[in-house]
Amino acid sequence: MPEKHMSETYLSENHIAENLSRVDLSRRRRYARSPSQVACVSITPARLKILRYLAELRFLSLPQIAKLCCPSARQDLSEKSARRHMRALFDAGLVDVLPVSRAALAPPGAPNDASLLYGSAPNVYAPTASGLKILRREGLVEDAEPGRKKPAYGPKNSLFLAHELAVRDVRVWLERAAGSGGHELERWEDGEAAAIYLKRDNAPFSVRPDAWFALRLRKAVLVGLVEVDRGTERGDQRWREKLKAYNSLFSSGLLPSVTGYVNARVLVIAPDARRRDLLARTIAEYDAPVSSRLWIAAQAILGETSLFLPRWRQRVDWPLKPLLSHGTG
């Protein structure tokens, strides 16, 4: 994300009062704003940075915000700091909390029992119109930039939210890897903006990665087409369709017109090593030129920041490889 000057601004008591006017203040609730802040709310550079990420990515979980904007060697301190910032932004009416159940964000391998009915999921935040207005006033977003629709996830339609958050986990990983390795994340596209249309008369007509990015290294640029696989689908039909579409993309010559670069890798994030190796077998069976472009890793890699560790599988009978060699990174 480009660095821009972020000044410290304040919100008046009147602004806070407007956001609290319809809230029952007799007790504190998770989705209710509090009048406890006195005089004004300080919109610090750190809070503007949080709003900027939310404007771009539409929503983020508290742990993701903590890793992006409140880094610390200790995860509990990082999340504590993030929670303090988000409470202030929430009470000021600059962010909303999406009403999401714990079951909606449970990992695929979680037990299907009553434990998913109790407790709460990590808060998931989205910017409000007031939050976007602050960013526009500070010159941190263009007028047209926050044009993506506000997320409408809730208790009745949160089926795909876990997948969307998993895609954002990849973005967080890239940001952290770039920061620790001296790289620069030049571009990130996700959702509909990541779709690549193949200009064909017959299927497949498009390739729809979950996201794609361009990461500038010291001596090269890594372009990655991101596929997040949560292991929830049975059979391999969907992956065979994806491989066919990617094969058409890489043989079409369209990649430079979309990404600006001739080459790219397809980076697949699987939930665990078992699924990683299963996908490697499926790809090997397809036996197409595109197979050499697919790199598969288990989700645990997203907790690391080095791109030089041997964590990636290309073929099931090959040893794990690092995403980058020291010569290119």
Q: What is the tally of structural domains in the chain?
A: 2
How far apart (Å, rounded) are the C-alpha atoms in residues 250 and 227? 16
Closest to 316 (Cα-Cα) out of 276, 270, 272: 276
**Same domain, residue pair 53 and 198:** no
**Same domain, residue pair 147 and 239:** no
Q: Which of 112, 132, 159 is the last residue of a domain?
A: 159
**DSSP assigned state of 313:** B
How far apart (Å, rounded) are the C-alpha atoms in residues 6 and 274? 45
How far apart (Å, rounded) are the C-alpha atoms in residues 252 and 189? 21
How far apart (Å, rounded) are the C-alpha atoms in residues 117 and 136? 40
How far apart (Å, rounded) are the C-alpha atoms in residues 204 and 198? 8
**Same domain, residue pair 144 and 169:** no
For the chain, 329 residues long, give each residue's pLDDT as a single digit of tens: 545 555 555 555 455 445 544 444 444 566 678 766 544 678 999 999 999 999 999 999 999 999 999 998 888 899 999 999 999 999 999 999 998 888 878 777 777 887 777 777 889 999 999 999 999 999 888 765 544 566 777 767 777 899 999 999 999 999 999 999 999 999 999 999 999 999 998 999 999 999 999 999 988 999 999 999 998 887 888 999 999 999 999 999 999 999 999 999 999 999 999 999 999 998 888 877 888 999 999 999 999 999 999 999 998 889 999 999 876 76
Residue identified by tokens 């600059």 is 94
**Same domain, residue pair 192 and 103:** no
DSSP 293-308: GEEEEEGGGGG---SS
Mapped onto helix, strand or coil, the DSSP state of residue 252 is helix
**Same domain, residue pair 118 and 178:** no
Check residue 20 and give its pLDDT.
46
User: Hey, what amino acid is at 133?
Assistant: K
Q: Which of 138, 159, 180 is the last residue of a domain?
A: 159
> Which domain, by its residues, includes 47?
9-159
Q: Which of 122, 140, 159 is the last residue of a domain?
A: 159
**Same domain, residue pair 255 and 228:** yes
**Same domain, residue pair 145 and 14:** yes
Asked whether residue 329 is domain-assigned, the answer is no
Q: Which two tokens stand for residue 185?
A: 């994340």
**Same domain, residue pair 199 and 316:** yes
Check residue 312 and give its pLDDT.
98
